[in-house]
Amino acid sequence: MKDALPVDEPTLEDMQAFARRHGLGGLKPEYVARMRELAVPVARFGLQVRRPPRKEDAPAPEFRLPGR
């Protein structure tokens, strides 16, 4: 697993714009500041997830036929 992948930290303005774009424009400034702190570890965790080698390896989402 890759331990320290390079991920740029967003600026506070980046994060405010992200929040506005994604329906979170009403969050308090301190919450947006916390989201900025979270952005790097979340991105790093995402990049750490091993990608299966074959394109045919599909995801395993929850799915049930209606009515069953």
Partner 1 sequence: MPQTPDPSDRPHWSLSVAEASGRVATGELSPVDLLDSVLERIAEVDDRVHAYIHIAAAPAREAAARAASEIAAGRWRGPLHGLPFAVKDNYDVAGMPATAGSRLRLEHVPEHDAALVAGLKSAGAVLVGKLSTWEFGTGNGGEYFDLPFPPARNPWDLERFTGGSSTGAGAAVAAGMASFALGSDTTGSVRLPAAATGTVGMIATPGRLSTEGILPNCWSFDCPGAFAWTVEDCAIVMDGLLASAAATPPSGPSLRRAVGQPIAGLRIAVLDSPGPGFPAPDAPLRQGFDDALAVLERLGARLVRVRLPVPAAECLAATRMIGPAESAALHERELAEQADLMGYALRDKLMAGSLVRAVDYLAAQRLRRTVADRLDTLMRGFDALVTYGTLHQPPRLGVEPEMTAFTVETMLTPFNLSGHPALIQCTGFAGGLPLNWQVVGNRGDEASVLRVAAAYEAATPWRARRAQP
CA torsion angle for 20, 22, 25, 29 (degrees, to 10)? -90
Residues binding partner 1: number (CB under 8 A): 29
How far is the CA of 9 from the CAs of 32, 36, 41, 59, 68, in angstroms?
13, 7, 10, 29, 45
**Nearest to partner 1 of 6, 61 (CB atom):** 61
Contact call for residue 20 and partner 1 (CB under 8 A): no
48 binds partner 1 (CB under 8 A): yes
User: Is residue 33 close enough to count as binding partner 1 by CB under 8 A?
Assistant: no
Q: Which of 9, 14, 20, 38 binds partner 1 (CB under 8 A)?
A: 38
